[in-house]
Amino acid sequence: MAEHTKCLIIGSGPAGYTAAIYASRAGLAPIMYQGPQPGGQLTITNDVENFPGYPEGIQGPVMMQDLEKQARRFGTDVRYGMVTSVDFSVSPKKVIVDDTQEILADAVIISTGASAKWLGLPSEQEFNGRGVSACAVCDGFFFRNQEVAIVGGGDTAAEEATYLANLCKKVHMIVRRDELRASQIMQKRVTSNPKIEMHWNSSTDEILGDDSGVTGVRIKNNVSGETTVLPVTGFFVAIGHKPNTDIFKGFLEMDEAGYIITEKGSSRTNIAGVFASGDAQDNIYRQAITAAGTGCMAALDAERWLAENELH
């Protein structure tokens, strides 16, 4: 038996929970399915120090628990479960949860986020949050005046290496080829920075550490086969992100990387009544605070759309 709701939120995290807070306070009685990682990427982030309102910082999982409690307080029906397929060609929109439960939603807010791409090393996950990070802007501050490494060769890696160089004593940039894929201006910025040491034709062999966290990284030269240990306390992975948007392909307009395209200055997608927020549509900032902001936008846009179409 299909269940009907005025507002369905797909995914949690700062975007989804903020959308839920605004939607529930607007009387939309939203249903939220949290997805495979309730709370999103911040649940694997130890310390969050750049979200306003927490002068002493806060642990990522605690912050997500607080946001969930706030959403529940105003009446959001928060549920475990993962949306496995959608049909946005009909109205109300049809959404299938865990391949079994059918939900019919007048408005849908997408906040499925994006996942960092990892190298696939066991040690990478072992030290994730203890020296290994996929976000220099989020975690670079913890490594100020220390020696760190970053792997990647595109614009994101170049930008993050430059950012880290402003904070850290030295930045080792590990590039698997003999050139960067980054734009010319970013290449020049990186290679001319005296605090950034380039390691060309190199791959990460192993991340080294102990109970205190990362103590070094062993890299291998792809040409000579020679291995070198870099004495770093931080290891940043900057090889890209993958938006969690595959189930929406064929319905929503996306860029070549799979990020959902929204109308400028809004959360509206190419399908009326479907709104996108957070990292699923943001390939630039990818911060908790910007995700929360777009979650607010999505809820307000959904509320207005429902009212305009007399579905409130």
Strand pairing partners for 8?
Answer: 31, 108
- The side-by-side arrangement of strands in the sheet containing 213-221 is 202-210, 213-221, 227-230
How many other CB atoms are there within 10 angstroms of residue 155's CB atom? 16
C-alpha distance from residue 73 to each of 25, 68, 69, 70, 278 (Å): 10, 8, 6, 5, 22
Answer yes or no: are the C-beta atoms of 251 and 271 closer than 8 Å: yes
> In a 3-state reduction of DSSP, which class is residue 79?
strand
> In a 3-state reduction of DSSP, which class is residue 114?
strand
Q: At how many degrees (to 10) do helices 155-165 and 184-191 cross?
A: 30
The span from the CA of 37 to the CA of 41, in Å, is 8
- Asked if the peptide bond before residue 92 counts as cis, ω within 30 degrees of 0, the response is yes
The one-letter amino acid at 23: A
> Active-site residues: which are they?
135, 138-139
Please report the beta strands in 52-113, taking only residues with DSSP state E, as ranges in sequence order: 58-59, 77-79, 83-87, 93-97, 101-110
